[in-house]
């Protein structure tokens, strides 16, 4: 184990990324292996930061971070520190997942499928490193599995639901090309008939009109909730319904029934319906046979996130410390110019400074 005390900067542009980075902050604090500062931009700049915040380029340069952790695709190239991509999701279903933006020195991958692909690209491009560490966000699940027994009761109490009924979580993705929300509106309205509790959790970037349409369905059995971290809701749900969203892969860690709508990859991880009219039957089948796809879920997890020890944050920190200690990042080739993208990022940072 390398003992290093490093200065970390967490760069966040999307509000759902806070829950990805908080376990890393906890690991750093627990091990006393460094200091942490946060910098928010874009849609994340409107949210409360769970730690010490920097608000300008000058403050970043004065802090002079050793490492910049990013659960996103871009980062200011002119900031000091090793630039580390830790991803904002587990899935590869959306086009462009393996697009290399040319901003990162290190990609911390979540499992063997992702690692294999990025290693092939790294061998060709030679301007970034790859380390398989697991995904920090899931540390919460594996470290707290024994404490989830009462989570369903907590959800029912929090949202005023019926304790005698199953809890169904619907969490669609937001891009118009992939989201199931418009298609499933009528089907969910029909199934909102008092047989189930419903919790609807939208992506923060979901179309506002669509969100309002679902809010019209609210009654004593259905709630539309506005929580940044979906994991506690997953922990209390009997079943989840989604589409191509990365949350499908996060839910696999609970080994509970999953229904997807027109999934593009790994369609056998649950019941994958093609038409809204198939939803009701899929729900009944999933609740009646909760273990039907358990073997498939386990197989999928081995490919995308085989780590169940709750120590992905620690592995990530050790990998970073080792790379810095050995100077491996200094052997990388020069990154592409990316002039237009760099200009766009600089403007984004300028806007966040103006708000601050």
Tokens of 173: 């993705």
Work out the percent of the chain whose per-residue pLDDT is above 90.
Answer: 89
Average the pLDDT over 176-193 and give the result: 96
pLDDT in tens, 142-164: 988 767 778 999 999 999 999 99
Residue 52: CB partners within 8 Å, gap ≥ 6?
Answer: 36, 37, 38
Whether the CB-CB separation of 24 and 136 falls below 8 Å is answered with: yes
Angstrom distance (rounded) from CA 316 to CA 84: 10
Domains of the chain: 6-135+307-355 (3.40.50), 149-304 (3.40.50.2000)
Whether the CB-CB separation of 321 and 131 falls below 8 Å is answered with: no
Give the pLDDT score at 1.
53
- 39: which strand partners? 11
pLDDT in tens, 231-267: 999 999 999 999 999 999 999 999 999 999 999 889 9
State in Å, rounded, how far the first CA of the chain is from the last one: 39
Whether the CB-CB separation of 94 and 116 falls below 8 Å is answered with: no
- Which contacts qualify for 119-127: CB closer than 8 Å, 24 or more apart? 125/100, 125/333, 126/332, 126/333, 127/102, 127/332, 127/333, 127/334, 127/335, 127/336
Please, which pLDDT band fits residue 200 given cuts at 50, 70 and 90?
very high
pLDDT in tens, 121-143: 999 999 999 999 999 999 999 98
Tokens 């292996």 correspond to what residue? Answer: 33
Whether the CB-CB separation of 69 and 90 falls below 8 Å is answered with: no
Give the pLDDT score at 303.
94
Q: Is 265 exposed, middle or buried (0-12, 13-18, 19+ CB in 10 A)?
A: middle
């Amino acid at each position: 184990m390398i003992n290093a005390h490093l200065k970390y900067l967490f760069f966040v542009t999307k509000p759902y990324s806070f829950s990805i980075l908080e376990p890393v902050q906890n690991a750093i604090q627990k091990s006393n292996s460094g200091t942490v500062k946060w910098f928010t931009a874009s849609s994340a700049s409107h949210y409360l930061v769970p730690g010490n915040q920097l608000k300008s380029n000058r403050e970043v340069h004065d802090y002079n971070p050793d490492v910049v952790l990013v659960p996103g695709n871009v980062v200011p190239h002119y900031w000091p520190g090793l630039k580390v991509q830790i991803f904002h999701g587990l899935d590869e279903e959306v086009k462009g997942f393996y697009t290399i933006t040319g901003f990162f020195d290190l990609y911390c991958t979540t499992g063997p499928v992702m690692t294999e692909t990025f290693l092939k690209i790294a061998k060709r491009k030679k301007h970034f490193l790859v380390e398989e560490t697991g995904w920090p966000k899931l540390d919460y699940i594996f470290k707290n599995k024994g404490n989830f027994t009462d989570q369903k009761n907590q959800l029912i109490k929090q949202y005023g639901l019926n304790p005698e009924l199953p809890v169904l979580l619907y969490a669609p993705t937001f891009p118009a090309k992939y989201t199931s929300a418009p298609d499933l509106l009528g089907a969910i309205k029909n199934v909102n008939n008092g047989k189930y509790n419903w919790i609807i959790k939208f992506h923060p970037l979901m179309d506002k009109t669509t969100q309002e349409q679902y809010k019209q369905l609210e009654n004593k059995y259905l709630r539309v909730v506005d929580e940044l971290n979906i994991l506690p809701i997953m922990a209390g749900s009997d079943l989840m319904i989604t589409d191509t969203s990365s949350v499908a892969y996060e839910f696999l860690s609970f080994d509970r029934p999953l229904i997807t709508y027109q999934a593009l990859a790994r369609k056998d991880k649950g019941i994958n319906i093609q038409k809204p009219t198939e939803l009701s039957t899929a729900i009944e089948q999933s609740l009646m046979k909760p273990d039907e796809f358990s073997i498939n879920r386990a197989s999928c997890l081995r490919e995308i996130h085989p780590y169940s020890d709750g120590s992905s944050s620690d592995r990530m920190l050790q990998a970073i410390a080792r790379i810095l200690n050995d100077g491996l990042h200094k052997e990388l080739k020069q990154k592409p110019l990316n002039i237009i993208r760099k200009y766009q990022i600089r403007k984004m940072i300028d806007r966040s400074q103006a708000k601050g």
